[in-house]
């Protein structure tokens, strides 16, 4: 039996994430590959392994650092994902079923969080917030996807009319126009989904990237924490904005606490750079009520066992779970199985023009077909 895995990489990484191993020039990953082929293989090959958790624990022990900096979270995660796949194959079940059995969660189709307008560092800061998403929640993923696809096409026409130009694309396969007000993308997207009851809006502000010298910088203006909260309250009042990810910088706990208190009763406040799929950071965020939803990215932590542990902690605190891709993706569809298998609230997997994003949505559609048979 052979199991393969591909590992993504993020551009707007949180500073508390596990460390990827990259080459000296920051581009290649030959050192990470050497770690898999060398040290990790020597440990794995020729021994009996009874579970993927056992392999994950051995990887963590072999690395021996708190941030996976020696072997690299990228080398470790690839091996971990392949191990989980292999055990599922050995049991003769789909990966999502295996993950559901292991965790005891009831599988459920996630809402699709599709990043249709890309800004922030994914688009050379042409727009202040990093991601402007449509949340699709039709009765079936197939219907969500079909409707989403039509809206995505309509959006291009609208943007071309508004900007009177060809619209460039951002890193995650969404459009990347330029506007000079914070509201404009929200006006356009709320107009777009009018009459589409299964749709609402989400953003990832990725506010760590907007934060410098104690303040937030947006379209040439400077905002204090309190002023930025006023901005979010206004947006939430004017538009069908259901979910706000990383509204404040990763260590601005006061900002997170304030927005969760103000909007957390009716909106999702999602921790990403804040929590980095790390159980220690998630635990503190739960205790201090800094968010009510967790973005889950396996490569922020480096093994699937630890990813499931992070999910368990957040769910025990009744947080919603949104499983996510990275800006640098591969065609691997593990996260689609993960999102369905653990019954996540959402799957965030980008716009609709890049194959590596579409693969995730297509995998959900395939799972939907499997379960309807």
Residues of this chain that interact with Mg ion (CB under 5 A) are 204, 272
Q: Which is nearer to Mg ion, 12 or 144 (CB)?
A: 12
Give the shortest CB-203-to-ligand 2PG separation in angstroms. Answer: 11
Distances (CA, A) of 149 to 114, 143, 156, 254: 10, 10, 11, 38
Contact partner, 326, from Mg ion, ligand 2PG, none, Cβ < 5-8 Å per class: ligand 2PG
297 among known catalytic residues: yes
16 counts as binding ligand 2PG under rule CB under 6 A: no
10 counts as binding ligand 2PG under rule CB under 6 A: yes
Report the helix count and the strand count for the chain, using DSSP H and E: 14, 11
CB 198 within 8 A of CB 144: yes
Give the one residue of 94, 204, 242, 250 binding ligand 2PG; rule: CB under 6 A.
204
Distances (CA, A) of 353 to 149, 152, 168: 10, 10, 12
150 among known catalytic residues: no
Give the one residue of 56, 242, 272, 309 binding ligand 2PG; rule: CB under 6 A.
272
Going 256 to 258 to 259 to 260, the CA torsion angle's sign is positive
Give the shortest CB-49-to-ligand 2PG separation in angstroms. Answer: 31
Q: Which of 59, 88, 75, 91 is nearest to 337 (CA)?
A: 88
CB 5 within 8 A of CB 82: yes
Residues 6+ apart with CB under 8 A from 10: 17, 297, 299, 300, 326, 327, 328
Of 53, 94, 147, 172, the active-site residue reads 172
Give the one residue of 68, 102, 111, 326 binding ligand 2PG; rule: CB under 6 A.
326
12 counts as binding ligand 2PG under rule CB under 6 A: yes
Give the shortest CB-105-to-ligand 2PG separation in angstroms. Answer: 23
Q: How many residues bind ligand 2PG (CB under 6 A)?
A: 14
Going 119 to 121 to 123 to 125, the CA torsion angle's sign is positive
Of 297, 306, 320, 356, the active-site residue reads 297
Contact partner, 324, from ligand 2PG, Mg ion, none, Cβ < 5-8 Å per class: ligand 2PG
Q: Is 178 helix (H, G, I), strand (E, B) or coil?
A: coil
Residues near ligand 2PG, by CB under 6 A: 10-13, 130-131, 172, 204, 206, 272, 324-327
Catalytic residue positions? 172, 297
């Amino acid at each position: 039996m052979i199991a393969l895995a591909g590992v993504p990489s993020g551009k707007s990484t949180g500073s508390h994430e596990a460390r990827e191993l990259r080459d000296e020039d920051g581009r290649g990953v030959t050192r990470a590959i050497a770690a898999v082929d060398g040290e990790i293989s020597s440990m794995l090959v020729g021994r009996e392994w009874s579970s993927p958790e056992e392999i994950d624990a051995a990887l963590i022990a072999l690395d021996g650092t708190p941030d996976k900096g020696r072997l690299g979270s990228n080398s470790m995660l690839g091996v971990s994902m392949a191990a989980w796949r292999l055990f599922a194959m050995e049991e003769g079940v789909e990966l999502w079923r295996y993950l559901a059995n292991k965790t005891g969660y009831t599988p459920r189709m996630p809402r699709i969080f599709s990043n249709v307008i890309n800004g922030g560092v994914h688009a050379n800061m042409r727009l202040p917030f990093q991601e402007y998403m449509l949340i699709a929640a039709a009765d079936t993923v197939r219907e969500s996807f079909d409707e989403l696809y039509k809206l995505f096409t309509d959006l291009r026409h609208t943007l071309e009319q508004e900007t009177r130009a060809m619209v460039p694309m951002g890193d995650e396969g969404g459009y990347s126009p330029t506007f000079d007000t914070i509201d404009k993308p929200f006006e356009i997207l709320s107009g777009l989904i009018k009459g589409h009851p299964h749709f609402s809006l989400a953003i990832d502000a990725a506010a760590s990237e907007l934060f410098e010298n104690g303040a937030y910088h947006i379209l040439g203006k400077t905002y204090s924490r309190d002023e930025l909260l006023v901005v979010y309250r206004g947006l939430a009042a004017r538009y069908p904005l259901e979910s706000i990810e990383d509204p404040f910088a990763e260590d601005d706990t006061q900002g997170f606490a304030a927005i969760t208190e103000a909007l957390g009763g009716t909106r999702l406040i999602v921790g990403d750079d804040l929590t980095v799929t790390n159980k220690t950071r998630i635990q503190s965020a739960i205790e201090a009520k800094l968010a009510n939803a967790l973005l889950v990215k396996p490569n922020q932590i480096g093994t699937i066992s630890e990813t499931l542990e992070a999910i368990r902690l957040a769910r025990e605190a009744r947080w919603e779970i949104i499983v996510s891709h990275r800006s640098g993706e591969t065609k691997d569809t593990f996260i689609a199985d993960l999102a369905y298998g653990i019954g996540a609230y959402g799957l965030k997997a980008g716009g609709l023009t890049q194959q590596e994003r579409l693969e995730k949505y297509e995998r959900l559609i395939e799972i939907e077909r499997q379960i309807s048979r």
